[in-house]
Amino acid sequence: MAESGTSSSPGQIGAARSVSVLLPLPLAGAYDYRVPPEIELEAGDFVIVPLGRRETVGVVWGAGSGEIDPKRLKDVAERLEAPRMPAAVRRFVDWVAGYSMAAPGAVLRMAMSVSAALEPPRVLTGYRFVSAVDLPARMTEARQRVVDVLKDGPPRLLSELAREAGCSTGVIKGLVDAGVVETVELPARMSPPVPDWQLPGPTLEPAQAQAVQTLRDSVTKGGFSTTLIDGVTGAGKTEVYFEAIAAALEAGHQVLVLLPEIALSAQWLGRFEQRFGAKPAQWHSDLGSAERRWTWRAVAEGEVRLVVGARSALFLPFSDLGLIVVDEEHESAFKQEDGVIYQARDMAVVRAHQGQFPVLLVSATPSLETVQNVATARYGAVHLPDRHGGASLPRISTIDLRRDPPARQSWISPPLRKALAETLAGGEQALLFLNRRGYAPLTLCRTCGHRLQCPHCTAWLVEHRFRARLQCHHCGYMAELPPACPACNAVDSFAACGPGVERLAEEVVALHPEARLAVMTSDTVFSVRAAEEMVRRIQAHEVDLLIGTQIVAKGHHFPMLTLVGVVDADLGLSGGDLRAAERTYQLLHQVAGRAGRAERPGQVLLQTFNPTDPVMQALVSDDRDNFLALEAKDRQRTGMPPFGRLAALILSGDSPEAVDRLAREVAVRAPHFEGVTVFGPVPAPLALLRGRHRRRFLMKCRRDLAPQPLIRDWLAPIKLTGSLRLQVDIDPYSFF
C-alpha cells in the first residue's frame, strides 16, 4: 500500500518539533523540517518551506521521521491560512501513489493543482453586464459575444472574459466606456448555490422505484458499497442516481459525479439544474482560473455540495464526501495516460472504501471488470431493463460491404443511401458515425507511393481540409500540404486514402445538397459552450444530418434522430488491444442508442466486412450478456484482465541505441516468478512518439499476485541517465 516514509496518521504530531512535509514534486518521499516555536502545526496543514534556494508550498504529512539530526533541519517558514487537507485525502494520495507506483508528491500535485487557492484572499475586479441599459448602436460581433457570455453567468475576470468571448480586452473596455459592462469587486469567494434535494423528482416507474430504494438505503445506511446501475440507454439511469444524490445531500454529505468528458456534458448540466434548482460546481480543464480557485476552496470548506467533473475531480479536497457516481463507467477516458497513470473509476472505488461510503457505477455497457465483480458479488447491481416510457430500442442490422459495396471513392453503401434518403424525406434526423477526424487518414503520392508521415511520430499525417492543414493526431504537429512529393518531386500527385468525417461530409453534400449538415468532432466542438450550442441546434432540429466521431456517442438525447449509420463498424476491431472487441461493442452500442430515443422508432445500420464477427452479432441480436460471457471465457483462458493482472513498462529516450541498451538491461533483470510472465522488449507500436524512441515490456501476473512489489525490486537497480525515461503503467488500457 503506502510508500514507507509518507504514511500519514492524523494527530500523531502532538508536541513534536519536527514534521515531515510532502511537496508537490516528483521526489521519492516527504522531507523533515523543524517547527519553530511560534508555529503550531497539525497533519494536513499547508506550509511554506525552504527547498534549496527557493521556497515552496507543501503539506504536513505527519511527525518528523527523526532520521536526520534535528540541528541540521531547516525551519518551516509559515503556515498558510487555508483549510487543512483532510486525512481522507492524504490517505488517498498515499494509496494512489503506492498502487500506481508514482512519486507521492506527483500525486499530491494533482490534489493541490490550484496553488492560488491557498494564497490569502485578494480582491479581484470582475466584469458584468448592466442589464438596465440599451445596447450601443455599434454592436460588433465581438461585442455581442461579450454580452452573450456575461448575460447568463457570474462576473468574469478580464482575461477570462476575453478568452471566453474570443475577443481582445480592448473590446471589453470599449463596452465599459459605453456603459454596457461595469466592473465590480469580486469577493475572493462566492457562495455557491446549494442544490435543493427537496424538489420533486419525476414519478418513477416500478423498476426505477425499486432501484432507487436499494440505492437510497445504501446511502442512508452509509458504509462502503459499490453498486452497478445497469440499464439500456434511455432506461432512466440518470433519474435513478439523481435520487441517490438527493439522499446523500439530505444526509448532509458532499457528492462527486465523474463524467468521462465533462466538456461535452451540457445536457447533463441542464438536467441537473432542472432537478435540483441549482447549477452544479464543475471541475475540468476548461475552467477559468478564478472559478478553479473558488471551487477548490469551496469544496475544501464544505460549501460546495456537489461537483461534477472529469477524473481529476477525484483529488479535490472534499471535507465530507458521502457518495461518488461514475457515469459511463466503461469509458476509457477515465484512464489517465500521462503523468501519474491511474484509472479514475477504480480509484473512485478505493476513495469510497477509504471514506466508507457508497460508489455507483453507471453504464448500459459495463466493463468486463465490473461485470465480473458483480458476478463474484464484490459489487452489487440494480437493473433497469426497459427504456423509459416504452420507447423501443432501435432495430440494428448489418450491411455486408462485400455484397453491397459503395461506389468507388465513396463510403456510403446503396442500402445506407436509401435509408438516409427516406429518413430525410420523412423530416427526421440522421447521424452518420465515423470515428475519424479530418479528411483522410492517409495521404500518399500516386507516383512513388510515398506516405506523408509525422517527422516526430510513427504515424501518418492526417489531412484536415477545412483548415487546409496536415496534422499529426499524436503530437499535434501541423504542416501545409507540400507543393510536390518530398520523395519524388511529382507535382499534383497526392491522393487521399480512406475517409475521415470531412470527406464523408463531401459525399453527403453531393447526395443531399438541401439537407442542413453539421459535423461534430473535437475539431469543431472544442469548448463546453460550443458543445452546448451544437447540441441545442440538433435538438431544435436546425440540423437534418449529423456527421460525428465518438463525441456524439455519449449521453445526448435527440428526439428527432431516427437513423444511425455506422460507416465503418470494423474500425476499432484490429490492433493489439486486448479490449478491442469490448470497446467496439460499447462504442457502437452507445452510438446506436442515439437512435429513436423518443416515440419514433430508430434504425441502426452497421457497414461491415465481418457481419459474422461476435461483436456485430451481439449488436444485431442485442445479446450483450452472451457477448460478455464469450469475452470473459477468452480472457480467462489467456489469464488476461480481469482474470489476471497486467502492468506495462514503457522505456523511452532521444536516442534509439540508448533506449535499446536500457531495454537489454531491464530484460536481463526481469523477474522469474511462478505466475508471472514478462513479454518484451519490443518496439512500441508507436515506436517514435514526440521525437522519443519507445520500447515496451508487458508483465502478466496471476490475479492473486501484486505486480507492484515485483516491479519495484526489478527496477530498483536500474539507473536512468540523460533523456531516458521509464514509465510504469499498472492495469494498462492502451498498448501503443
Tell me which stretch binds Zn ion (CB under 5 A): 31-39, 297-305, 455-463, 691-699.
455-463
Q: Which residue number, 310 or 457, has a Cβ lying nearer to Zn ion?
A: 457
3-state secondary structure of 213: helix
Q: Work out whether 366 is an interface residue with ligand ADP (CB under 6 A).
A: no
Cβ at position 174, least distance to ligand ADP in Å: 43
Q: Which stretch binds ligand ADP (CB under 6 A): 94-102, 106-114, 235-243, 445-453?
A: 235-243
Note whether 233 binds ligand ADP by CB under 6 A. Answer: yes
Q: Quick one: 239 or 631, whose CB is closer to ligand ADP?
A: 239
Residue 163 is a binding residue for Zn ion (CB under 5 A): no
204 binds ligand ADP (CB under 6 A): yes
Distant-in-sequence, close-in-space partners of 151: CB < 8 Å, separation ≥ 6 = 129
Q: Which of 216, 271, 474, 537 binds Zn ion (CB under 5 A)?
A: 474
Q: DSSP string covering 568-637, please?
A: -TTTTTSSS-TTHHHHHHHHHHHHHTTTT-SSS--EEEEEES-TTSHHHHHHHTT-HHHHHHHHHHHHHH
* Smallest separation, CB 557 to ligand ADP (Å): 6
Exposed/middle/buried for 523, CB within 10 Å: 0-12, 13-18, 19+? middle
Does 353 bind ligand ADP (CB under 6 A)? Our answer is no
CB of 189 to ligand ADP, least distance (A): 33
- Residues 90, 388, 693, 696: which binds ligand ADP (CB under 6 A)? 388
Binding partner of 454, given ligand ADP, Zn ion, none, CB within 5-8 angstroms per partner class: Zn ion
Written as one string, the DSSP assignment of 270-318 is: HHHHHHHSSPPEEESTTS-HHHHHHHHHHHHTT---EEEE-GGGGGS--
Q: What is the DSSP string of 370-430?
A: HHHHHHTTSSEEEEE-S-GGGPPPPEEEEEETTTSPPPTT----HHHHHHHHHHHHTT-EE
Does 469 participate in binding Zn ion (rule CB under 5 A)? no
Backbone angles phi, psi at 204, to 5 degrees: -85, 150
Choose, by CB under 6 A, the member of 62, 155, 231, 406 that binds ligand ADP: 231
**328 near ligand ADP, judged by CB under 6 A:** no
Query: Does 736 sit near Zn ion (CB under 5 A)?
Result: no
Of 340, 457, 651, 699, which lies in the binding site for Zn ion, with binding defined by CB under 5 A?
A: 457
Query: What is the nearest approach in angstroms of ligand ADP to the Cβ of residue 274?
Result: 9
Residue 368's binding partner among ligand ADP, Zn ion, none (Cβ under 5 to 8 angstroms by kind) is: none
Selected range binding Zn ion among 24-32, 169-177, 447-455, 513-521, rule: CB under 5 A: 447-455
Strand partners, 63: 19
Cell of 113: 493543482
Q: Which of 78, 286, 477, 600 binds Zn ion (CB under 5 A)?
A: 477
Shortest distance, position 686 Cβ to Zn ion, whole Å: 9
User: To the nearest whole angstrom, how small is the minimum distance from the Cβ of residue 701 to Zn ion?
Assistant: 33
Phi/psi-derived region of residue 238, left when phi > 0, alpha when psi is between -120 and 50, beta in every other case = alpha
Q: Which is nearer to Zn ion, 469 or 474 (CB)?
A: 474
Stretch that binds ligand ADP, among 210-218, 231-239, 335-343, 421-429 (CB under 6 A): 231-239
Task: Count residues binding ligand ADP (CB under 6 A).
Answer: 15
Select from 3, 45, 205, 329 the one that contacts ligand ADP (CB under 6 A): 205
Which residue, among 163, 189, 166, 161, has the nearest Cα to 176 in the 3D structure?
161
454 binds Zn ion (CB under 5 A): yes
Give yes or no for a cis peptide into 192 (omega within 30° of 0). no
For residues 254 and 320, the answer to whether their CB atoms sit within 8 Å is: yes
- Supply the minimum distance, in Å, between the C-beta of residue 227 and ligand ADP: 15
Distance between CA 287 and CA 520 in Å, rounded?
Answer: 22
Residue 247 backbone phi and psi in degrees, to 5: -65, -40
> Which of Zn ion, ligand ADP, none binds 388 (CB below 5-8 Å, type-dependent)?
ligand ADP
Phi then psi dihedrals of residue 161, to 5 deg? -65, -45
Question: Closest Cα partner for 58 from 73, 71, 41?
Answer: 41
User: Does 557 contact ligand ADP by CB under 6 A?
Assistant: yes
End-to-end Cα, the chain, rounded Å: 28
Count of helices and strands (H, E) across the chain: 19, 31
Q: By CB under 6 A, name the one of 43, 235, 306, 462 that touches ligand ADP.
A: 235
Neighbours of 278 (CB within 10 A): 16
Length, in residues, of the chain: 736
Judged by beta carbon, residue 327 or residue 507, the one nearer ligand ADP is 327
Distant-in-sequence, close-in-space partners of 644: CB < 8 Å, separation ≥ 6? 700, 701, 702, 703
Contact 85, 57 (CB under 8 A): no
Instruction: Classify residue 677 by its DSSP letter.
Output: E
Q: 548: closest CA among 507, 592, 501, 516? A: 501
Among the candidate windows 128-136, 477-485, 579-587, 649-657, which touches Zn ion by CB under 5 A? Answer: 477-485
Region of 339 (left: φ > 0; alpha: ψ -120 to 50; beta: rest) is left
DSSP per-residue letters across 452-467? -B-SSSSSBPEEETTT
Q: In which residue are the cell numbers 459575444 written? A: 145
Residue 600 lies near ligand ADP (rule: CB under 6 A): no
Q: How far is the CB of 724 from Zn ion (least distance, A)?
A: 21
Q: How far is the CB of 692 from Zn ion (least distance, A)?
A: 11
Tell me the site size for Zn ion, rule CB under 5 A. Answer: 7
Considering the complex, state which of residue 4 and residue 203 has its C-beta at the smaller distance from ligand ADP.
203
Q: Does 475 bind Zn ion (CB under 5 A)?
A: yes
- When binding is defined by CB under 6 A, the residue of 90, 237, 330, 700 that contacts ligand ADP is 237
Q: Which is nearer to ligand ADP, 493 or 539 (CB)?
A: 539
Cβ-based nearer residue to Zn ion, 456 or 557: 456
Please report whether residue 456 would count as binding Zn ion according to CB under 5 A: yes
Measured over the CA atoms of residue 368, residue 308, residue 336 and residue 10, the dihedral's sign is negative
Find the part of the chain contacting ligand ADP (CB under 6 A) among 202-210, 212-220, 576-584, 724-732.
202-210
Compute CA distances 66 → 36, 47, 57, 636, whole Å.
Answer: 16, 19, 21, 48
Of 94 and 230, CB closest to ligand ADP: 230
Would you tell me how many other CB atoms lie within 10 Å of the CB of residue 570?
Answer: 17
Binding of ligand ADP at residue 238 (CB under 6 A)? yes
The three-class DSSP label of residue 98 is helix
Give which of ligand ADP, Zn ion, none residue 541 binds (C-beta under 5 to 8 Å, depending on kind).
none
Out of 150, 472, 553, 648, the residue judged to bind Zn ion by CB under 5 A: 472
- Sites of contact with Zn ion (CB under 5 A): 454, 456-457, 472, 474-475, 477
| Interacting residues with ligand ADP (CB under 6 A) | 202-205, 208, 231, 233-239, 388, 557
